[in-house]
């Protein structure tokens, strides 16, 4: 993961809708980047753990053909309207209460049913992977949605690298547990740490990515710095933030929202307009920034790519 010098940022990388925001942000970011470059040294260019934090430009990103061409949700909305209960339960809380969170240095464990378990510094974990920009829709179970230009790499590539054994049927993910750094964890609204899981074929699907950034920069804290999952055909809560552990398991792992309310949130949690949440409809959603609601699409519009994963399954039973 390399730091991009401010003059290298081409106008072609900036969308017209967000041009103003990006310019404004560019001014503040260049200060961070300069500090990071000074520490890391231009020759090496690798992230300096103490200096590089949210806002640092990522370098060497290729564009993915899996991206949607829909209009992007502005950076401001993507980073100030969040669900991240570790920093509070209101949408504005994460932006406010994650301000002092320093994601780096970050240690990540890979364990369970695989031949090559290990403990990594984030940089070493990311290094073998080609960063891609993936513009995906994110649809929250609360019936709002966004279009976000993620930067990440396929989870499938990561999984192959650790050589799961034949016993690995699921992949389990765990968020950092550190109430001193994540003040929302002093509230018992959830059973901490936040955990999530995917069936192996879902985890291996080419649309599933681990994200390390958005809008061309390291993940902002409210979006799950420094590493999060993104599964675009599932409700937003499956996309677990600030991951410290990835484990291969033989049995279906527990998932946080399922433990809170099993009749409301299943293990699969596929976006499904035909299966209502017990307390509200899932037929429509409001794209953040829009005045009117739009219909919610099966599998969040990714049905052509993912419907076959669930062939023969009763999606009212396995919601």
CA 22 to chain CA mean position, Å: 21
203 is an interface residue for Mo ion by CB under 5 A: no
Q: Does 140 bind Mo ion (CB under 5 A)?
A: yes
Q: How far apart are CA 125 and CA 245, in angstroms?
A: 12
What residues are paired with 211 via a beta bridge? Answer: 152, 228
For ligand MTE, which residue of 56, 82, 249, 296 counts as binding (CB under 6 A)? Answer: 82
Helix (H, G, I), strand (E, B) or coil at 249: strand
β-pairing verdict for 228-230 and 62-63: unpaired
Both tokens of 45, joined, read: 């260019």
Q: Does 85 bind ligand MTE (CB under 6 A)?
A: yes
DSSP line for 143-206: SEEEEEEEEEEEHHHHHHHH-B-TT--EEEEEE---TTT-GGGGSTTS-SSPEEEEEHHHHTST
- Residue 236 near ligand MTE by CB under 6 A: yes
* The two three-digit tokens of residue 266, written as one number: 């299943």
CA distance 232 to 229: 10
Q: Is the peptide bond before 226 cis (omega within 30 degrees of 0)?
A: yes
Distance in Å, CB of 54 to Mo ion, minimum = 21
Q: Among residues 64 and 242, whose Cβ is nearest to ligand MTE?
A: 242
Asked whether the beta carbons of 94 and 162 are under 8 A apart, the reply is no
Q: Which of 194, 233, 248, 267 binds ligand MTE (CB under 6 A)?
A: 194
Binding partner of 110, given Mo ion, ligand MTE, none, CB within 5-8 angstroms per partner class: none
Tell me whether residue 27 or residue 260 sits nearer to Mo ion (CB atom): 260
- Residue 153 binding partner per list ligand MTE, Mo ion, none, with a CB distance cut-off of 5 to 8 Å that depends on partner kind: none
> Quick check: 132 binds ligand MTE (CB under 6 A)?
no
- Calpha distance 103→7 (Å, rounded): 26
- Quick one: 164 or 232, whose CB is closer to ligand MTE? 232
Nearer to ligand MTE, 132 or 285 (CB): 285
- In whole angstroms, how close is the CB of 158 to Mo ion at the nearest point? 24
* Binding string, residues 73-112; x marks residues near Mo ion by CB under 5 A: ----------x-----------------------------
Q: Report in angstroms how near the CB of residue 215 gets to ligand MTE at its nearest.
A: 12
Q: Is 84 in the site for ligand MTE (CB under 6 A)?
A: yes
**Residues making contact with ligand MTE (CB under 6 A):** 82-86, 138, 140, 175, 194, 223-224, 236-237, 239-242
Contact residues toward Mo ion (CB under 5 A) are 83, 140, 236-237
């Amino acid at each position: 993961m390399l730091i991009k010098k401010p003059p290298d940022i081409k106008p072609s990388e900036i969308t017209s809708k967000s041009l103003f925001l990006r310019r404004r942000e560019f001014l503040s970011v260049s200060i961070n980047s300069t500090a990071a470059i000074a520490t890391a040294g231009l020759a090496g260019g690798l992230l300096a753990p103490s200096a590089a934090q949210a806002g640092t430009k990522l370098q060497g990103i290729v564009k993915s053909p899996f991206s949607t061409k829909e209009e992007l949700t502005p950076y401001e909305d993507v980073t100030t309207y969040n669900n991240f209960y570790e920093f509070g339960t209101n949408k504005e809380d994460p932006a406010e209460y994650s301000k002092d969170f320093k994601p780096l240095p970050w240690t990540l464990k890979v364990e369970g049913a695989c031949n090559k378990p290990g403990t990594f510094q984030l940089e070493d974990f990311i290094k073998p992977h080609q960063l891609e920009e993936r513009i995906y829709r994110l649809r929250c179970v609360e019936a709002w949605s966004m279009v976000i230009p993620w930067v990440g790499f396929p989870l499938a590539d990561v999984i192959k690298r650790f050589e799961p054994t034949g016993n690995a049927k699921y992949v389990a993910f765990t968020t950092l547990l550190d109430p001193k750094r994540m003040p929302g964890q002093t509230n018992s609204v959830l059973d901490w740490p936040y955990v999530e899981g995917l069936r192996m074929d879902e985890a291996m699907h080419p649309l599933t990515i681990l994200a390390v950034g958005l809008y061309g920069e390291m993940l902002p804290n409210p979006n799950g710095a420094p590493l999060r999952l993104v599964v675009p055909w599932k409700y937003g809560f499956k996309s677990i933030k600030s991951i410290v552990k990835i484990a291969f398991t033989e049995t279906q792992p527990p998932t946080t929202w399922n433990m809170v309310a099993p009749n409301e949130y299943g293990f699969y949690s596929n976006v499904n307009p035909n299966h209502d949440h017990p307390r509200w409809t899932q037929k429509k959603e409001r794209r953040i920034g829009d005045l009117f609601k739009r219909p919610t699409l099966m599998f969040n519009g990714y049905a052509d790519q993912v419907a076959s994963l669930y062939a023969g399954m009763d999606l009212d039973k396995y919601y």
